[in-house]
Structure 1
Amino acid sequence: MATLTQNIENRVRKLPKPSNATQGLQPLFEAVSNSIYAIEDLLGANVAKGKVSIRVKSLSDSDKIEIVVADAGIGLDAKRYEAFCEIDTDFKRAKGGKGVGRLFWLDAFSSILVESVYDSPSGRLRRAFSFVLENDDQVKPSQEDEPAPGASTGTTITFRGLRTKEYADTFPKRADTFLRYFSAHFIADFLLGSGPAIIVDLDGDVTTYPNAVAELTIGAPLKTGAFELKQFGELSIIGFTCKAEASTGLDGKHQLHLLANGRTVETRKVDSLLGVTDLTRDANKDLVFHGCVSGEYLDLRVNEGRTAFNLTEKTLNEISRNCMEQVRTKLLPAQVEAYVEARKENYQSFVSRYPTFGFDDDDTQLQRVPFHATTAEDFAAGLVKYQIRREEDRQKTLQALIDTLELQNIPQDFDKAVSDAAREIQTSEQLALAQHVVRRKLALELMEKLIKRLRARKEKEDDHFLEKTLHSFICPMNVRGDDPTEVKSRAHELWIVDERLAFTRAFSSDKRLDAIMANGGSAERPDLLVWNLAYGLGVTETESVDTSEPLRTMMIVEFKRPGRRDYKEAEDQIEAQIIKYLGQLQGGQLESFDRARIRVAGDCIFYCYVVADIVGDLEQQLSNWETTANGQGRIRPLKNQYRGSIEVIQWQDLVNDAWNRNKATIHAAGLSRSKPTHIEASMVAAKKPEQVFDPAGS
């Protein structure tokens, strides 16, 4: 009868090739695992008394590299030698061995020498052989059953030269890199402390395991005991809290090691599943978690190279999720409880800043986001789909109610459906309003801080940029609102000046008059020129300004540096500066961005505002002006050919008026104005009730 024969060269050629350092080291890992098994076979329960020695020379040179793996194990006796010579042997099946690890050696290394001392019925013997990649006679003995009196049992394997480009490219070339990946692969074994000592000598630099890893653990191991998982049977987890260095070379901080037959097969990052950011223990901070998972389900489903499980990614994720649930509830309950409380506080802070996401109670919303979610972006990303679904359902409900009204017979419970829909609309609008108010509150607080800083710095030139910052905050500088290509012109806060300007685009900010007028105009640059107040009263930005009728009202706003006291120059005269603008605008034509011309009526009413602190020279300059209703500002009507008025408004009045206009909604949103500083308080202490700022005089 004929027997099937092995084509070893073809079998090795078809082995999976390494694509990273972990896979590049896999042949060495196989040799070390074999040494550990040999020590277990010899010492049994006393395996921790054994030793594996790994000596590496010329690590950086793939052609000259030499690695010697030596153990004081049971050695290659007749039975084990026979198993070594049989591909796909089931000799180590009970321990998860697949009998193919030696093929990875042939794939990786150019030269492999094996020497072993073992006991036999006739005494202690020695054998030595070369292991080569050929279809016939892969094992080439140089010594066979030679007496070795006085020698210790064990096996020494010498690997030289990396045979293929794939291994040469992926094998670590630095000692620290080698140790990181070596530690990462065997870390579960080292943490469990159930194996022999492993001594790694890298060109004379010695590291001893498991001591090197044991020094990184804090406190005693944490054990779940056996627990049952549906579909996965009985599993158990031994957990360790470690210093952060224990995760060096691994992806992420916290790790779950899935073991098969006591050996690590796969390590998975579980930062998002653990969630806990603070594992403080025994006064140690910045700790990481490492959990070792064992069970028969995993033992039976590992591939022949013990490099991966024969399981789908979905199944491995499910096992990891279930195991980490056990870790959270059984091993780290106190840390998880503290994390959950901190996470809830983070979420509540998030909703206070972004109220539109608070459309359900806190516990419901937190269940909808990943357990590791703690930042605003995390919460928003997790909740946005529920927000969209809610709005979609609400719109469908409203459309259904509209359709019902078309029916001849309206259901008796129609009033309840309408009432429920109205309540949903009201809730949605309240959330949107709260979001709007939160943004406005922050804007006003920032503005107050800017004003305070400018006053405190007085007129130091190095803070000149802050003056521009204040102007730019209210309205970006050197832009036209009607320029559709100018995105930043839409980011203005003109509602601070007048509520009706919240959405206006009919303005220019710090633009030369000769750039916005059809004919004439000078290099003068009004801080803010608004030429269509109606635009702020309801005309949408897609509607064009009516150019057939001349402008009857215009607004001019000048911003003076808060705290400024020096107005000695001729151009600093407030009234003279405003009249310069009016002389060019009245009876002229503005040219809109689309080249349409907008006439300014000869009897146009100009509402001119100067925002300043009335102190120093300005206080003297305005001494014969009328005071405004609140007693703080100054006002003067325009004379002769100009109609309108010039009003000087204190910076703090501008801010206070904006606060007052938004007071009701800020209060309704559960917010409050920050307490004024002593500078601000002193300025408003004698104030009369603030007037509502109304440029159109309505």
Structure 2
Amino acid sequence: MSNIHIKRAVSNIREKTSIYTPIVEAIVNSIQAIKSKEEANGLVTVTLKRNGQLELDGTQSGDRRIEEIQVRDNGIGFNEVNRESFDTLYSDLKINEGGKGFGRLTYLKYFDHVWINSVFQKKDGTYWTFDFKMGDEKHFITNEASLPAKTGQTGSVTRLGGLKKKSAINQSAKTIARNLVELLLPYFITEEYSCPTIILMEEDESERITLNEYLSSKEAVIKELPLLESEFSLQGSERPQEFKVRLFKIFSPGSKVSKISLVADKREVETAFLHRYIPEFEDEFFEPSSNPESPGRNYIIKVYVFGKYLDDNVSIERGGFNFRRDREENNELYADICQTEIEREAAKLANTAFSGEVASRLERKKAIIQEYVEQQAPWHRETLKNVDLNEFSMHPKPEEMEEILHREQFKTETKLRVQVRNILDKEEPSDQGDEAARAVAINISEKSKSELIHYVALRKYLLDLLARKLDYRDDGKYHTEGAVHDIIFPRKKDTDRIPYEGHNLWILDERLSFTNYVSSDIPFDGGNTDRGDVIVYGHRIAMRGDNTATNPITIFEFKRPGRDDFADPSSTEDPIAQIVRYANRLRDKRFKTPPGRPMEVSENTPFYGYVVCDFTPKVEEWLEREKSFTPMPDRKGWFSYQVGPKIYIEVLSWDKVLNDAILRNKIFFHKLGI
């Protein structure tokens, strides 16, 4: 044949091959050689040669790397026809059996050395041996030698040595055998075909495993499950394509999970997790034993899919298919069948076969989701009625449930917007349009209820958080002033820098939810001068958004829970004096207003001041004797009107602020059951 660049051809193998690909290739070549010979007692033996280094005490080394794999058969051997085919890239000798004339290149992707020794019969009836090494530069066959054979038994031995990725197959014989059985299963189960005996063994014969017995023995670890419906059809770009499904239980699966396997020319090509389509297949299943002394066995499901469409479209490396994995959105009508469509239909048949167990698992999952919604996310109650439970994994975590429910909620909102737009675009009203409008109105009402539930529930969480921050820390000290400050309104921020819903001023006063401008811990003039903890300008609920001098300005000062040193005579942090000073400076307009948001302040602008702190005997004495404040009936707050600066001031305890907020919202919490 003409010279080819073998190394480059090997490096261009980019499909999803694995270390098992060349081993399966060698075994399939042996199976085909036995078929060509029409050998009734076909036998393929796969021998594992490991590192046999001895330790000083004479025992085997713990490093039992596989150094060479030998595949032996009693097939037709490398006669003249097979030799020419092996030396021809893209040979069509085995095209009727799905041969691509390319598979042997995978030998060199994973092994450094490939030797083949064969005995074949010439046309004159004589037997000859044919030995060669597979080349890795320009020729497939190198170092060849042909001599008369000493035996009349044909067959071949393929030796794969110099494993490039030793760790990739540093496994026990049992593990390798199980993997090979699953990859070669189509050969074992093909109707009207008898697969040769395939044996995998260690070189020292410490283990000898017959792969066929995985399906045929009394304690077989692979069993087929008959299906009431085993075929489906999908419409291709030119004609319908037929597919056949066969389902198997794989016992004692170890860490494996249920899968869908797409088969081409009797070889597994692509696999997909079955739980991608039916989440309830994520866990293993259990088959009880009919023998009381046996506990039964766990198993997974493997769904094998066959079809001419798969045979015709398998890639040359057999690592994938020449059709898309997913259908393109803009090419629905004339696109070929894609991989996910085939897998989805196969999954449906598996789901039907396990409908009882799947339904039971689905109910358990549904209970988990419902419990989450009822206890932690009641605003999703309406959304839960419409969401597809297959969107959730079998054991959904809160983060996953919230993400999926939120996504479904967004889809509902988008759909409602489209429906409203379609109704508004109608030129003339009609009975049908009125009915559509009523249906949309009901949906919007339910959506609004869910949003209100969400908002109220978030209030409950925030009050719980505030209560925690008012308690002692683990070190026996109170949390800092900033810890509680940031819950109510982030420090160093104003309403020009955070979104409308980014603060929780409702904890202090519900009216503060509707404000024109709020400044938190920001100097009046942009420098290092005095700054109020929270300064609220303009209650929108009162002034309807108009920026006028008659609207009130409210100033808050927070003091760290447990702290009372501000009541000392020598303190420079007197919060009442601070509030009066802030009010005077605001009235004098001695500060920089936010860009584009001038504050209209006059002598008659109402000012309110609030100090939030913990009440100790020293604080109460200070308020009564030094500040002349009047106690509220519950003595959890004190008040006074400062005539000179014209400002009304209240001093409130943290407990009062928290308890009042809880009382204002308690009826909503009760109705929601939170």
Counterpart amino acid of 2:361?
A
Counterpart residue number, 2:462: 446
Counterpart residue number, 2:60: none
Counterpart residue number, 2:644: 641
| The 10-residue stretch of structure 1 (16-25 or 386-395) with the greater mean CA deviation from structure 2 | 16-25
Deviation at 1:474, TM superposition (A): 0.8
Counterpart residue number, 1:553: 552
TM-score where L is the length of structure 1: 0.70
Change in Cα spacing, 1:632 to 1:222, as seen in structure 2 (3 Å) is: farther
Q: CA contact under 8 A between 1:257 and 1:293: conserved in structure 2?
A: yes
Q: CA contact under 8 A between 2:183 and 2:267: conserved in structure 1?
A: yes
Deviation at 1:636, TM superposition (A): 2.8
Counterpart residue number, 1:509: 520
User: What is the DSSP-based 3-state SS (H/G/I as helix, E as strand, rest coil) of the residue aligned with 1:476?
Assistant: coil
Rounded to whole Å, the distance in 1 between the matches of 2:543 and 2:663 is: 20
TM-score where L is the length of structure 2: 0.72
* Percentage of matched positions with identical amino acids: 21
Counterpart residue number, 1:293: 305
Rounded to whole Å, the distance in 2 between the matches of 1:286 and 1:565 is: 66
Counterpart residue number, 2:536: 530
Residues 138-177 of structure 1 mapped to structure 2, 5 A cutoff: 141-148=144-151, 154-158=155-159, 172-176=164-168
Matched, 1:468 2:460: no
User: What is the DSSP-based 3-state SS (H/G/I as helix, E as strand, rest coil) of the residue aligned with 2:146?
Assistant: strand
Rounded to whole Å, the distance in 2 between the matches of 1:559 and 1:233 is: 72
Matched, 1:396 2:428: no
Change in Cα spacing, 1:132 to 1:525, as seen in structure 2 (3 Å) is: closer
Deviation at 1:12, TM superposition (A): 10
Residue among 345, 365, 378 paired with 1:322: 345
Counterpart residue number, 1:384: 410
Matched, 1:477 2:491: yes
Unaligned runs of 5+ in 1: 1-5, 58-64, 162-170, 247-252, 405-409, 517-521, 675-698
Deviation at 1:647, TM superposition (A): 1.6
User: What is the DSSP-based 3-state SS (H/G/I as helix, E as strand, rest coil) of the residue aligned with 1:451?
Assistant: helix
Counterpart residue number, 1:273: 277
Counterpart residue number, 2:580: 579
Deviation readout 1:365-390 (Å, 9 max, x if unpaired): 31795888863223433563343122
Deviation at 1:501, TM superposition (A): 2.3
Deviation readout 1:172-199 (Å, 9 max, x if unpaired): 5342367699889746237789562335
Change in Cα spacing, 1:37 to 1:464, as seen in structure 2 (3 Å) is: same
Residue among 334, 358, 361 paired with 1:338: 361
Counterpart amino acid of 1:611?
V
Matched, 1:73 2:73: yes
Counterpart residue number, 2:447: 431
Counterpart residue number, 1:592: 593
Q: CA contact under 8 A between 2:30 and 2:44: conserved in structure 1?
A: no
Deviation readout 1:237-261 (Å, 9 max, x if unpaired): 2242665644xxxxxx543222234
Counterpart amino acid of 1:538?
R
Matched, 1:375 2:401: yes
Q: CA contact under 8 A between 2:637 and 2:650: conserved in structure 1?
A: yes
Deviation at 1:558, TM superposition (A): 2.0
Counterpart residue number, 1:196: 198
Rounded to whole Å, the distance in 2 between the matches of 1:639 and 1:307 is: 84
Q: CA contact under 8 A between 1:500 and 1:537: conserved in structure 2?
A: no
Deviation at 1:595, TM superposition (A): 6.8
Counterpart residue number, 1:519: none
Q: CA contact under 8 A between 1:476 and 1:489: conserved in structure 2?
A: no
Counterpart residue number, 1:53: 47
Deviation readout 1:20-59 (Å, 9 max, x if unpaired): 6727875554224323555788998977x752125489xx
Deviation at 1:509, TM superposition (A): 1.0
Change in Cα spacing, 1:12 to 1:593, as seen in structure 2 (3 Å) is: closer
Change in Cα spacing, 1:595 to 1:288, as seen in structure 2 (3 Å) is: same
Counterpart residue number, 2:29: 34
Rounded to whole Å, the distance in 1 between the matches of 2:550 and 2:408 is: 50
Deviation at 1:419, TM superposition (A): 7.1
Counterpart residue number, 1:366: 388
Deviation at 1:147, TM superposition (A): 1.3
Q: CA contact under 8 A between 1:605 and 1:644: conserved in structure 2?
A: yes
Q: CA contact under 8 A between 1:278 and 1:285: conserved in structure 2?
A: no
Counterpart residue number, 2:607: 606
Change in Cα spacing, 1:241 to 1:566, as seen in structure 2 (3 Å) is: farther
Rounded to whole Å, the distance in 2 between the matches of 1:125 and 1:337 is: 64
Deviation at 1:292, TM superposition (A): 3.3
Residues 413-424 of structure 1 mapped to structure 2, 5 A cutoff: 413=431, 418=434, 421=437, 424=440
Change in Cα spacing, 1:139 to 1:643, as seen in structure 2 (3 Å) is: closer
Change in Cα spacing, 1:441 to 1:582, as seen in structure 2 (3 Å) is: same
Rounded to whole Å, the distance in 2 between the matches of 1:272 and 1:298 is: 21
User: What is the DSSP-based 3-state SS (H/G/I as helix, E as strand, rest coil) of the residue aligned with 1:175?
Assistant: helix
Rounded to whole Å, the distance in 1 between the matches of 2:67 and 2:28 is: 15
Deviation at 1:137, TM superposition (A): 10
Residue among 233, 238, 247 paired with 1:237: 247
Counterpart residue number, 1:85: 84
Rounded to whole Å, the distance in 2 between the matches of 1:177 and 1:263 is: 20
Counterpart amino acid of 2:494?
R
Q: CA contact under 8 A between 2:378 and 2:453: conserved in structure 1?
A: no
Please provide the CA RMSD for this pair: 5.0
Deviation at 1:641, TM superposition (A): 1.2
Deviation readout 1:391-436 (Å, 9 max, x if unpaired): 2112322453xx54xxxxx75x4xx855763563354144234324
Matched, 1:18 2:4: no
Counterpart amino acid of 1:527?
D
Q: CA contact under 8 A between 1:448 and 1:655: conserved in structure 2?
A: no
Rounded to whole Å, the distance in 2 between the matches of 1:576 and 1:603 is: 20
User: What is the DSSP-based 3-state SS (H/G/I as helix, E as strand, rest coil) of the residue aligned with 1:602?
Assistant: coil
Counterpart amino acid of 2:340?
N
Deviation at 1:475, TM superposition (A): 0.4
